[in-house]
Amino acid sequence: MDQSIKPVKTAILEYIRESEDCTSTMGTGNMAAFSRKVSGYTYETIRKVMSGDRRLTQPFMEAIAAAMEVEPGTFLEYRLLMATRKLDPDAMSPEQAERVLGQLEEVLENTVGEH
């Protein structure tokens, strides 16, 4: 599987399409077969995440990554989650928080609206 950074849902669908273990003899993807590879999560939970009825969590993304034999950091949402945790004000001094906030505001000011 391609190791580039991509959204979890996209990565799952690509994996299912590319994996012989998760496709039928007709070549169609099989989410149920994929779900059997994911430790600790049922087909129904994976389906709900895929449909947006359930939020992505760190443990879920780590289980998906393990089933796909990739690093969780290949998922865009995982990297964003890890980045936001670095912004926890309880994990830094007030001086660090002020400096990081200034840098973040500058980046956002220069990038928001650039689609």
What percent helix, strand, coil does the chain show, rounded to 5?
65, 5, 30
Amino acid at 69: E
Give me 54's structure tokens: 């359930």
Report the run of H or E that residue 66 belongs to, with start and end.
helix 58-68
- Its pTM stands at 0.78
| Number of structural domains in the chain | 1
Q: Count CB neighbours of 90 within 10 A.
A: 5
Question: pLDDT tens digits, residue range 51-90?
Answer: 999 999 999 999 999 999 999 999 999 999 998 888 888 8
pLDDT digits (tens, 9 = 90+) for 27-47: 788 999 999 999 999 999 999
Q: Is residue 60 one of the residues assigned to a domain?
A: yes
Tokens of 15: 């994996």
114 pLDDT band (50/70/90 cuts)?
low
Tell me if 38 is assigned to some domain.
yes
Q: What is the domain-level CATH number for residue 60? A: 1.10.260
Q: Which domain holds residue 32?
A: 8-80
pLDDT at 7: 95
User: For residue 100, is it within any domain?
Assistant: no
